[in-house]
Amino acid sequence: MKYNGKNLLELEWNAFLTGNKESFAYFYNLHIDALFQYGNKIMADEDSVKDAIQEVFLDLYLKRNTNSADPYRLKFYLLLALKRNLIKRLKKERRFTETTDEIDFVPEYSIETRIIDKEQEEEVNRRVSKLLSQLPAKQKEAIYLRYNQSLEYTEVAQVLNISVESARKQIYRALKSVKEILKSENITLFIYFKSF
C-alpha cells in the first residue's frame, strides 16, 4: 500500500518512533492475534500470555528510541520477545528447567485444516493430529513457526535458539516423517504433503 510515494508501514513505523499512539496501536493490532496464538502454544494460562504480550509491547514502546527493529521483521522480533518472556515465567513457576530448552509446544496447524477440506474430515483430522502430536516438541514448534507464522528459516532458528541448518533439518525431518506415514496409508494425502 502506497501513500505519497512512501510505504504505509514505513510511515506508521516512523510515526511510532516519535511516540505516536495511533501508530503504536496500528502495530499492536497488526500483530496481537499472531502473538496470542503463539503464546497459547507455549503456555496454557491465557492471563499469563496476555500479561506477557502487554510486557512485550510496553517494552517495544519504551525502547522505541533505541530499538533497531525493522518494521518488516517486527512480527519475528515480537514472537522472539514473547517466547523469551514466557520462558522466564515458566522458569519462575518451575515448569521449565535449565537443562532443556524444550517446551511442551501444542500447535494447531493450518495444514491440518487444508487436509481436512480435501479429504474425509474426521478420519483425516484424527490421523494427521495423531502424527503431528507424535513429533518431537522442537519439530512441532519449527513447523508452526515456518508454516503458520510464515517466518524465514533464519528467524525460526533464532526463535528456537538453534542454527539455521538445524531449523531446516527439524522441519525437513518432521515433514518427511509425516509424508512417509501418510504415503503408506493414503496416496492422496502424500501428494498433498509433497508440495512442502
pTM over 0.75: no
Give the dihedral sign, CA 51/81/75/193.
negative
Q: In this structure, what C-alpha cell is assigned to residue 154?
A: 533464519
Q: CATH code at 148?
A: 1.10.10.10
Q: Report if residue 105 sits inside a domain.
A: no
User: What grid cell was written down for 65?
Assistant: 528510541
Residue with cell 525460526: 156
Residues 115 and 82 in one domain: no
Answer whether residue 191 shows pLDDT above 60: no
Within 10 angstroms of residue 41's Cβ, the number of other Cβ atoms is 21
Same domain, 49 and 123: no
pLDDT tens for 16-63 read: 999 899 999 999 999 999 999 999 988 888 999 999 999 999 999 988
| 75 within 8 A of 149, measured Cβ to Cβ | yes
Amino acid at 162: I
Q: Per-residue pLDDT tens for 66-102? A: 877 788 889 999 999 999 999 988 888 775 555 555 5
> Is residue 99 included in any domain, yes or no?
no
Which of 39, 62, 92 is where one domain is finished? 92
Burial label for 33, CB within 10 Å (0-12, 13-18, 19+), is exposed
Range(s) of the domain holding residue 69: 2-92
Residue 105 has pLDDT above 60, yes or no: yes
Question: pLDDT per residue over 122-180, tens digit each?
Answer: 666 677 677 777 888 888 888 888 888 889 999 999 999 999 999 999 988 888 887 77
Distance of CA 52 to the CA centre of its chain: 15
Q: Say if residue 88 is in the same domain as residue 145.
A: no
